[in-house]
Copies of this chain bind each other. A is one copy, B any other.
């Protein structure tokens, strides 16, 4: 099962080409991830996983990010939709996968069917705030996220060759 998180673009996201800047794309993903972690799953998992404020008992840290830019994202008044799912539940880590869906209008096609413009993965480690060390995901957390587990993204391009 995938979450569908709408994220509103801003003019300031655009670069001189009139497309969302490639770094700002990561902001859109961050925005979707925080919204998703905040609002889904049982309260306890919510607290554990999402609560990345400096006072929380559990911190979450991004340890790795991979992004493929498939099509440039132009400006749309309607939010883009970030599809979001879990690609892997590790011992102390979560792979969050994303696809940014938007109309393919820049190609002048007849259809307004949203197509994938970006696909990405972020690996997040869950850290015990008291010790500063990674801690295992609890059974409750696993149960909460299990329904969103789907096959991870197959990236087309990973450098050279």
Contact = CB atoms under 8 A, between A and B. Distances in A.
Interface of A: 8, 10-12, 15-18, 21-23, 26-27, 30-31, 34, 53-54, 59, 61-69, 72, 87-90, 93, 95, 121, 123, 152-153, 155, 157-161
B11 A34 contact: yes
A69 B64 CA distance: 6
- State the oligomeric state as a number of copies: 4
A67 B29 CA distance: 15
Contacts of A72: 61
A128 to B, nearest CB: 15
Nearest to A54: B16
B11 A30 contact: yes
Given A12-B27, A27-B23, A123 B64 contact: no
B159 A16 contact: no
Contacts of A123: 157, 159-160
B53 A30 contact: no
Contact of A69 (B27, B63, B68, B161): B63
Nearest to A22: B62
Contacts of A95: 159-160
A22 B159 contact: no
A16 B159 CA distance: 30
A59 to B, nearest CB: 7
A30 B59 CA distance: 28
